[in-house]
Amino acid sequence: MRQNDVLILNTYEQLKSLSDPLRVKILSLLIEEPRSGQQLSQIIDLSRSKIHYHLRDLESNGLVKMVKENKKRNMTQKLYQAVAKSFIPSTDLLPYTSEFGESRRLFTLATLDRAKTRALAAPESAFLSNSENPEEWSRIATQTELLTTKNQFKSWVAKYQKLMKELNELENPDDPDAEWFYVATVGFHIEEPYFKVEKRDE
């Protein structure tokens, strides 16, 4: 099954399904790759019956789908995968988005955890460069905080989304020189800066 990049949530039931931290955890794992209830049970350290209860909820709301069924003797193993890499509530559900806020926080944390795992597993060569110019590097590692308006930030995000679309269009599996690259980005409103800078005397 090919995952969609984004699934628009159109029902309150879908939104409610993703207000549960455990279901968000399961969905995050199924975004990475297809997994069985047994595999999820071992990763999350939870009984298979509870895992399958949440899987049924996610499946009934169109958030995950069974992609493979393996039969061995009297045992049947079903593999599930998330139908998309990202989930966004439709504008019709805006009155209920407060219920979705915590799950978005959990998805963001899952993204950061996944980025940490991928960085630890990457080869040492991924972080080496022969140039002092960041524009010539084949890696990105940066963070910033800035004081700006929400509208200005939203305008920048729109440009960033276009850039990400351009990045995805670079995929070329037929090129023998093609290599895998991993990109993860998060950005959100904060109450106060973490990086403190002394104010200059006026």
List, for residues 158-185, the tens digit of each pLDDT value.
Answer: 999 999 999 989 999 999 999 999 999 9
Query: Rounded to whole angstroms, how far apart are CA atoms 140 and 196?
Result: 23
List, for residues 108-157, the tens digit of each pLDDT value.
Answer: 888 888 899 889 999 999 999 888 898 889 998 889 999 999 999 999 99
Average of per-residue pLDDT across 26-47: 94
Name the architecture of domain 4-125: Orthogonal Bundle (1.10)
170 CB-side CA count, 13 A: 11
Q: What is the reported pTM? A: 0.74
pLDDT the model gives residue 2: 65
Q: Give kind and range of the element (H or E) at residue 86.
A: strand 84-89
List, for residues 42-74, the tens digit of each pLDDT value.
Answer: 999 999 999 999 999 999 999 999 999 888 777
* DSSP 8-state symbol, 96: G
* Domain ranges within the chain, ordered by starting residue: 4-125
Query: Rounded to whole angstroms, how far apart are CA atoms 53 and 70?
Result: 20
